[in-house]
Chains A and B, each alone.
Chain A
């Protein structure tokens, strides 16, 4: 087991290198020198910033030297300073990452809590009313554009009914609130974004759980469990679900990038102070150090997420350990 984890960990190193190389090349293959492109198109960038940029990236050096240098810096999490406010890019990310993680862990949790029972029940009541209703429900969530739903619900709950705040993560008076008050304030801000991203993201996992469960229920070992005279509940939850959830773990791992990336548009609509909006704003302002930092960090977290999914799989499936 330990051996498997270790090898799996080693395997991520080339992937990580690939990601950094790609990020680096994309930046350098854009027409013209990055320094020119960045500075000429952005009046806010001073000549001083431009020369510092050239120096930062060692733009007069050959490409491979530049890459190795850049790599050396990002290993120490030094992504350079933002063009907009001169603050280190990594600091800006550190400020935004918790908000994105909070939103995504909550909506991921909600998706898991809803999608798995929903998929299991749909499998058990295959082609019955429950299955049909659940299927239609998750497909509605899947086909409605999140930004449209967000706007509609903001109008309804924020403007018409006035029950929920419209945007952001905190109210203006957040710092003056007591601890329970702070929690409540946070919760009220999170309701809409979490609900919408969970509702629109439900389909994949629900359908996958359903078909995986249907598959498993046809297996001989399920029939064997019946043949032993076990109660149905034990067969479903002990024998079937354990097997049905194995591929679901992998699918869940694959869906992580979308979650961590934090939906540029989604966060922008809610003026949500997360990674998505940081990246969006940085691109709009051609704040390249921040863009690259966001790219590398998101890629890194995605990789970490996949690694966790793989390892959970290895723990859950006894067949993996032997290989």
Chain B
């Protein structure tokens, strides 16, 4: 039984009265406990998939024009905002691409993480302890200092770890990581990736890992889903897609990955 089933999902954005189609009738499933990599070039619709899964296509930028997203036996796309709120951050959480814009510059890291649990816990003391614990889980040692820091006082890697702490603090069932390392420099990229892999194991998360880098996907995903221009080109178990890519586009992508890298690490 899949944890999420997406059926014929279509999304378009509108800008200055112009309609921009972003997803055209896509269908896929996410299996519990797996890591699904969504791979595609920039603009192929990866982030739109992620946002759709959380009901976060905001009304002034675009809308979901058709399809269903089935989670826990119910279609998320027909539920109220109130019901969406009860899922967001609790059942499904997300880490966005750019930690320099995904944290609020005028609130401390601690405040921002604490908000995620405010509605699930009661006493103020418990909240802070829970936040410090989440910071420990994301490999901070000086948790008190990070708690009191504003985003501008943190490095890119630290910010992304704060964002991850924010996402995992309620132990969600599904964690979506939308190009979580693209905005970071090479040395911190690996650190953040390893952290995500570790957290996935520890918290037995289902992970949707979005990347434009097929090599990254190859090393960490159970299944890959290749996207292009708002459609799914090909999907399947990582090894199978790598060894026998069916679609010409996938073949080109696979050919572009340095051989050594994926041969050695492929799952």
Residues of chain A touching chain B, judged by Cβ–Cβ distance below 8 Å, are: 126, 217-221, 223-232, 234, 238-239, 242-243, 246, 316-319, 322
Contact = CB atoms under 8 A, between A and B. Distances in A.
A318 B150 contact: yes
B105 A319 contact: yes
A215 to B, nearest CB: 12
B93 A223 contact: no
28 contacts: A220-B101, A220-B102, A221-B102, A221-B103, A223-B51, A223-B56, A223-B102, A224-B96, A225-B104, A226-B58, A226-B88, A227-B56, A227-B88, A227-B93, A227-B96, A229-B87, A229-B88, A229-B90, A229-B119, A230-B115, A232-B81, A239-B107, A242-B107, A243-B106, A246-B106, A318-B152, A319-B150, A322-B153
Interface centre among B58, B84, B87 (most CB of A within 10 A): B58
Contacts of A220: 96, 98, 101-102
B252 to A, nearest CB: 31
Contacts of B102: 220-221, 223-224
A43 B7 CA distance: 93
Interface SS of chain A: helix
Contact of A221 (B84, B88, B89, B101): B101
A219 B107 CA distance: 14
B105 A318 contact: yes
Given A221-B101, A224-B163, A231-B85, A242 B54 contact: no
B5 interface: no
Given A229-B85, A229-B119, A243 B150 contact: no
A316 B106 contact: yes
Contact of B86 (A218, A228, A229, A242): A229
Nearest to B50: A227
- Closest 8 pairs between A and B when the two form their complex, measured CB to CB: A229-B88, A229-B89, A220-B101, A221-B104, A228-B89, A220-B102, A318-B150, A229-B85
B94 interface: yes
Given A223-B51, A224-B96, 13 more contacts: A220-B96, A220-B98, A224-B102, A225-B104, A227-B89, A227-B94, A227-B96, A228-B116, A229-B84, A242-B107, A317-B106, A318-B105, A319-B152
